[in-house]
Structure 1
Amino acid sequence: MINSLAKIDLKKHREQFPGLKNKSYFNFGGQGTMPQAAIEAILETHQYIQEVGPFSGKINAWLIQRSTWLRESLAEELGTTAATITLTENVTAGCNIALWGIDWQPGDRLLMTDCEHPGVIATVEEIARRFQVEVAICPILDTLNRGNATEVIEQYLTANTRLVVLSHLLWNTGQVLPLKEIVEVCHNYQTNNKPIRVLADAAQSAGSLALNLPESGVDYYAFTGHKWFCGAAGVGGLYISEAAFDSLQPTFIGWRGVKLDSQGQPQAWKSDGQKFEVATSAYPEYEGLRSAIAVHQAWGTTQQRYQTICELSQYLWSSLQQIDRVECLKDTAPEAGLVSFQIADIKHQQLVETLEKQGFFLRTIAKPDCIRACVHYLTLPEEIERLVEAISNSLSH
């Protein structure tokens, strides 16, 4: 029975999310819908800061405590410790910290998949230009329904490869890469007696998959709070493993990342994830994300939420398969909440716009050309049924 895992009623739980009212929302991979508690936490934090006094000693200590609590909340969701978490603005910021923090040398090689986000691609291209780094692209897209992603990546590793950049859950096709297996292959492929590091773009995996990052062995894991965690835009994070921490140096530097002496002068880097934090941030949004995570945790564990997401995505995937002219990119049931599909003889963007007028929110993807629908544990089976019916009706006219 779909959505039967939680101890509390889902429809009642959904009432906390104003963005789910009067629409059928399938865009969690772009931006999640914030719970009312998160919105109120942001507003209350702004008001409290003004009442106490911005930049007062009391409010500064209060904000430091709240930042610590957010790291702890994120760490709990990711199966790690707060010391491994750097608070950032979004996935791209986290990826930039890792990408620019490596001591690149001319002739080094960076391996990237052919399914990465434009923000990461552009960063890699600039690093290649600036440091004379060789960039290789491995064909992961072709492994969606055949082949072995781990073996493909292993075939592209060389003696001068320093870093592998991939997405744990591909944003375009919905494929979940076997992260632990890939990391093991990269770490075992020693270059100059050093393991090849792995940077994972976790835009679609954090908040949707059930994660234990230390167990995966991944070196850097960049995520955001505004997608599957349903927080406000502007808050994300970067996980850095204990083994990889000392190999990464800050590029953007500010007072939050350093220890100060009695004269307020920088003396040393901080010894945990705060080392890579810079300066003043959107602290009220921190409270919003922490509140959003608490709302999710009230419904079920990360494993329960993930199991429900998979049940719902399988329901959507199998229902779409019944419509003539519709073909899902994956030929087996999805392992996550992204369901990408193509429709013959129609402009995908035109259909998405038509559906939005009817209250269904989806998006198109350029490569491969397709429509992407995202289901969360918050999605109702009847919403899926209505979406499938709306698509079918649109194609019959």
Structure 2
Amino acid sequence: MMERRQFIGSLAGLLSPELLPALEAIAANPGAELPAIKAVTRLGTGRPEDEKFWSRVRDLFYVPRDVIYLNNGSLGLSHRVVVEAMYRHLLESESVRTTKYGDYPWWGYGPALEIRKKVSAFIGADPEEIALTRNATEGMNTVAAGLDLNPGDEVLMSDQEHPGGRSAWYQRAKRYGIAVKEFALPNPPRTPGEILNRLEASITPRTRVISVSHITTVTGGMLPVKDIAALARSKNIISLVDGAHAIGQLPLDMHDIGCDYYAASPHKWLYAPKGTGVLYCRKGMAEKLWCHTAGGTWDRPELGCERLTNIGTSNYSILVGMAAAVEFQEKLGKELIAGRERYLNHYLRKMLSDWEGVWFINGPPPELSTAMVKAALPLKKLGDFPIRMWEKHRIWLVTADGDEKLPASIRFSLPIYISTRDLDRTLEILKEELSKRKHQET
């Protein structure tokens, strides 16, 4: 059991006096700039390859130095800016420090315009085009359950959609008789055009909706969603994009992409609090949806996305955290962040390309991937390999066993604070572990 002195010592390592003064002190100064935001400003200008700069960025996260976390694709780890903002708002609201009557610490009732304005500016949309959700799955379900479709109408999607993006359509098919059709993504794709051609070849006269990922959870590969949206529009087909992995990983401009709907999970690459989500509805498209959760404004389509946001009492503090995550990215620089992720992607690919029997299931940056690398291995089964990597080496990876189509694989998700030294260490240990596993298979 950890002794009290050891416990306090471990906290001292996390709560750096310079970056994170006592949270109670932060909460006592509601009008002051957050200490962690000041620390971001002091970082100055960085470059994608500047390891010293990104080491200082890592100081803004709580991740211990001996941990190599390569799973942003499932869950991002929030930084100090987010935690400080949430904690301050939580103490402010729960102590009823507001001077405005009816200013409750919740969302789910009313417009929540302050948050929607910040998010919309960040992703190139208008505030009235933004609905607040709890994740991309909820956003995808809002559209899938809300559109008027008839039996026999087709929904076209790729064969690499996340269950949160595909299941709502399959449930609707089972209940109401629509048809769901999948097209196969190439592994790996050579060009964005190859993906677009496969999708277009799968469209039929019955296709009413195209529902695809911007970046797939299976491989981390990117789809040409702007071209897909333009193709859909030319054929009078509704376009829905599952952007769970894209927000925070890529600079986004909804108006430039041109899709009808776009669902996002900021808790991954934006490092926002878990339980935050965004649904973009192109102007005039929110009115076409029935509410999947009917609140008091369900029958007021003139409210647009506000009507879809009114889902009942929810935690406003996490929305404050999401707004802080947006501020962090804007101060650090969206293009710089994407550049860092591409740099790490290229670095990892270069190191792995020399390994016998290893190849890449997704394509390279910048058009076919950004911060995720899916590496196929010369093995069929990995067994307890990912458990050993974490419990023995403190390296968190996501793996998949092979099947009749593909060998076993590893999905590397590369957060900005990971260093090239971390990747070198990971590959050194990985090579040893895979050698052991290969001997076991033979």
Counterpart for residue 257 of structure 2? 216
Tell me what 1:164 maps to: 210
Of 128, 143, 147 in structure 1, the residue corresponding to residue 173 of structure 2 is 128
Q: How does 1:253-264 map to 2 (within 5 A)?
A: 253-255=294-296, 257=297
Contact 1:352 1:362 in 2 (8 A): yes
> Quick check: 2:213–2:242 contact (8 Å CA) kept in 1?
yes
- Aligned runs of 1:289-368 on 2, under 5 Å? 289-300=322-333, 302-330=334-362, 332=364, 335-345=369-379, 347-357=381-391, 358-365=393-400
Name the CA distance, whole Å, in 2 between partners of 1:353 and 1:273: 43
Task: Flag the 1:297–1:6 CA change in 2: closer, same or farther, 3 A.
Answer: farther
In structure 2, which of residues 212, 229, 247 is the aligned counterpart of residue 206 of structure 1? Answer: 247
The corresponding residue for 2:422 is 383
Q: Is the 8 A contact 1:92 1:119 kept in 2?
A: yes
Contact 1:115 1:170 survives alignment (8 Å): yes
In the alignment, which of 75, 89, 96 is matched to residue 120 of structure 2? 75
Residue aligned with 1:390, SS:
helix
Query: Within 2, Cα distance between the matches of 1:271 and 1:126?
Result: 28
CA distance in 2, matches of 1:32, 1:110: 30
Q: Distance between the aligned counterparts of 1:332 and 1:43, measured in 2?
A: 39
Is the CA contact (8 Å cut-off) linking 2:48 and 2:343 kept in structure 1?
A: no
> Residue 314 of structure 2 aligns to a residue in which SS?
coil
Q: Which aligned pairs between 1:1-397 and structure 2 lie closer than 5 A?
A: 4-5=47-48, 9-19=53-63, 21-52=65-96, 57-60=101-104, 67-142=112-187, 144-145=189-190, 148-189=194-235, 195-255=236-296, 257=297, 268-277=300-309, 278-300=311-333, 302-330=334-362, 332=364, 335-345=369-379, 347-357=381-391, 358-365=393-400, 369-397=408-436
What is the CA–CA distance in structure 2 between the aligned matches of 1:297 and 1:163, rounded to whole Å? 33
Native 8 Å contact 2:125 2:254 kept in 1:
yes
Give the C-alpha shift of residue 132 in structure 1.
1.0
Q: 1:15 to 1:104 in 2, by over 3 A?
A: same
> Whole-Å Cα distance in 2 between the matches of residues 20 and 239 of structure 1?
35
Displacement of 1:332 after TM fit?
A: 4.3
1:41-60 alpha-carbon deviations (Å, 9 max, x no partner): 22222222221179x83533
Q: List per-residue Cα deviations over 1:333-356 (Å, max 9, x = no partner).
A: 552111111222363352222221
| Superposition deviation, residue 248 in structure 1 | 2.3
Query: How has the CA–CA distance of structure 1 residues 356 and 62 changed in structure 2, closer, same or farther, with 3 Å as cutoff?
Result: closer
Secondary structure in 2 aligned to 1:330?
coil
SS at the partner of 2:259?
coil
Q: Which structure: larger Rg?
A: 2
Report the equivalent of 1:264: none
Q: Is 2:105–2:316's contact at 8 Å kept on the other side of the alignment?
A: no
User: What 5-or-longer segments of structure 1 have no aligned partner?
Assistant: 190-194, 259-266
TM-score by length of 1: 0.87
Q: CA deviation at 1:86?
A: 0.5
How far the C-alpha of 1:315 sits from its partner, in A, is: 0.7
Which AA in structure 2 matches 1:4? R
Deviation string for 1:152-186 (max 9, x for gaps)? 11111122211011101111112211111111111
- Does structure 2 retain, via aligned residues, the 8 Å contact 1:169–1:176? yes
- Following the alignment from structure 2 to structure 1, what is the Cα–Cα distance between the partners of residues 329 and 363? 31
Deviation for aligned residue 1:231? 1.4
* Contact 2:187–2:361 under 8 Å retained in 1: no
Cα separation, 2, equivalents of 1:238 and 1:291: 18
Tell me, in whole angstroms, the C-alpha distance in 1 between the residues paired with 2:64 and 2:129.
33
Q: How far apart are the structure 1 equivalents of 2:257 and 2:126?
A: 14
SS of equivalent residue, structure 2 residue 319: helix
Q: Deviations over 1:302-350 (max 9, x none)?
A: 2221122111111111112222343322364552111111222363352
Letter in 2 for 1:131: Y
SS of 2:300's partner is strand
Q: Secondary structure at the match of 1:275?
A: helix
- Contact conserved, 2:210 with 2:239, CA < 8 A, in 1? yes
SS at 1:148 equivalent: helix
Aligned letter for 2:418?
A: T
Provide the alpha-carbon RMSD of the alignment. Answer: 2.7
SS of the aligned residue for 1:136 comes to: strand
Q: CA separation in 2, counterparts of 1:345 and 1:226?
A: 32
Change (3 A) 1:21 1:270: farther
Instruction: Provide closer, same or farther for how the CA distance between residues 20 and 305 of structure 1 changes in structure 2, counting only shifts above 3 A.
Output: farther
Q: Does the 8 A contact of 2:363 with 2:369 survive in 1?
A: no
CA distance in 2, matches of 1:82, 1:118: 28
Aligned twin of 2:5: none
**Secondary structure of 1:149's partner?**
helix
